[in-house]
């Protein structure tokens, strides 16, 4: 009897360490005698719907190992959310047909909340139609907003990047403030949760160090109070460094900066908080300002990844295989922080039904009373996640990253018309 194959896919915005999770899955599967090949969806779940399956057995041991230090999504990702079974049963039937045709008995989906929701729906549907597929969610999101896991792979490295960028930009602004720029605004990701912006607080090593103001989605934005804080900071420190979440919003829930468009998951397209704040400051206070948007740079910065983050990303991929071999299904791998002064962690699991479509925001105990800073409790949570360096190998002055063959297996089914 042949061994069931694994279907693995990457979903949503990629990170500097999501390929480390893929590496963990593939290497663990190759070591196991209980599973077959690892087939990967080209461009996430779309790869399954279109029957575009990458055969990782054709990749060398060296190239798979290099995934551990290669950023972005080596197999392609997507922003595509399956509707409910009632709304579009055809998509689910297509997935099962593809899984049957290619002897797939395991489905590992590597992504955030929407991805865990997809894995949960597929797990339930496969049971209902008599072709049970063992579905395991592998956490990934720079936003760090998945519940029941202490942190999300991808976040630690973004946190490290933002903290370093804040410290370095702060030194730049401080050196020019006497005769030039007084205010610098850095815009970072974070739709409803301010974890990434909060990480900038790690840059401050002494009182008065930047960031002087952190704008979080969890705290309603008050323009008058904000401008007063900026003016007070410039008067006291000579300059002001601000780190703002893209999801900053007014008390009535309106985003400071949102376009009229939405993404494939139905979320409002965000971006533009930094220039919005700068225009506000220039109009009311008259300071010379500069701003920057870290955008893809923050999530692709593998050259400055956190060693803790890389280790955790690999571990959750490896754990997915181990859980599946042990008979688990309908669960997401988690990271559990252990009690004690020294930071220790281990992998665990939680039911997908508890994770799907639930967002974890910054707790109030992590935010200072004025809403512009991070408490000692918040810093104690964040600090271990950025520890250690895991530099990629360099060649001729640049990081050496892998580009896989990504050869597709032959198709066996008729073409599927996307709804």
Q: Which residues are marked as active site? A: 143
By DSSP bridging, strand 5-10 and strand 398-399 are unpaired
Q: Output b/e per residue, 327-350; b: 16+ Cβ within 10 A.
A: ebbbbbbbbeeeeeeeeebebebb
Task: Give the integer Cα–Cα distance in Å for 258 and 256.
Answer: 7
Cβ–Cβ under 8 Å, residues 332 and 150: no
279 dihedral zone (left: phi>0; alpha: psi -120 to 50; beta): alpha
Edge-first strand listing for the sheet containing 289-293: 213-215, 240-245, 183-188, 289-293
List the one residue out of 160, 196, 169 whose CA is nearest residue 310. Answer: 160
Neighbour-count burial of 214, counting CB atoms closer than 10 A to its CB (0-12 exposed, 13-18 middle, 19+ buried)? buried
Eight-state DSSP code of residue 370: T
CA atoms within 13 A on the CB side of 237: 26
Intra-chain end-to-end CA distance of the chain, in Å? 36
Q: To which residue do tokens 């250690």 refer?
A: 388
Task: Give the integer Cα–Cα distance in Å for 107 and 352.
Answer: 13
């Amino acid at each position: 009897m042949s061994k069931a194959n694994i279907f693995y896919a990457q979903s949503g915005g990629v990170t500097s360490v999501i390929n480390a999770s893929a590496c963990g899955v593939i290497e663990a599967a190759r070591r196991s005698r209980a599973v077959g090949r690892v087939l990967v969806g080209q461009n996430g779940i779309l790869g399954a719907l279109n029957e575009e399956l990458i055969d990782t057995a054709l990749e060398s041991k060296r190239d798979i190992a290099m995934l551990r230090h290669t950023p972005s999504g080596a197999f392609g990702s997507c922003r595509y959310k399956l509707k409910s079974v009632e709304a579009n049963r055809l998509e689910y039937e297509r997935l099962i047909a593809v899984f049957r045709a290619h002897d797939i008995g395991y489905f590992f989906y590597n992504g955030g909340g929407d991805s865990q929701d997809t894995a949960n729906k597929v797990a339930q549907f496969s049971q209902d139609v008599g072709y049970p597929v063992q579905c395991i969610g592998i956490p990934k999101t720079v936003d760090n907003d998945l519940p029941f896991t202490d942190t999300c792979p991808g976040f630690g490295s973004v946190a490290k990047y933002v903290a370093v960028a804040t410290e370095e930009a702060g030194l730049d602004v401080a050196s020019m403030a006497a005769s030039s720029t007084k205010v610098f605004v850095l815009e970072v990701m974070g739709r409803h949760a301010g974890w990434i912006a909060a990480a900038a607080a790690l840059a401050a090593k002494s009182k008065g160090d930047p960031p002087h103001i952190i704008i979080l989605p969890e705290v309603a934005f008050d323009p008058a109070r904000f401008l007063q804080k900026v003016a007070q900071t410039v008067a006291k420190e000579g300059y002001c460094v601000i780190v703002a979440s893209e999801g900053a919003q007014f008390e009535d829930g309106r985003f400071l900066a949102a376009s009229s468009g939405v993404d494939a998951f139905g979320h409002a397209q965000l971006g533009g908080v930094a220039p919005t704040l700068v225009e506000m400051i220039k109009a009311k206070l008259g300071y010379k300002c500069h701003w920057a948007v870290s955008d893809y740079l923050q999530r692709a910065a593998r050259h400055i990844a956190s060693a803790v983050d890389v280790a955790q990303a690999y571990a959750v991929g490896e754990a997915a295989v181990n859980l599946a071999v042990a008979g688990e299904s309908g669960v997401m791998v988690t990271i559990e922080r252990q009690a004690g002064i020294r930071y220790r962690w281990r992998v665990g699991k939680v039911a997908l039904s508890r994770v799907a479509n639930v967002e974890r925001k910054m707790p109030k105990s992590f935010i200072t009373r004025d809403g512009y800073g991070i408490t000692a409790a918040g810093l104690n949570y964040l600090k271990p996640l950025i520890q250690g360096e895991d530099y990629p190998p360099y060649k001729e002055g640049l990081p050496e990253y892998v580009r896989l063959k990504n050869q597709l297996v032959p198709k066996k089914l008729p073409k599927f018309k996307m709804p």
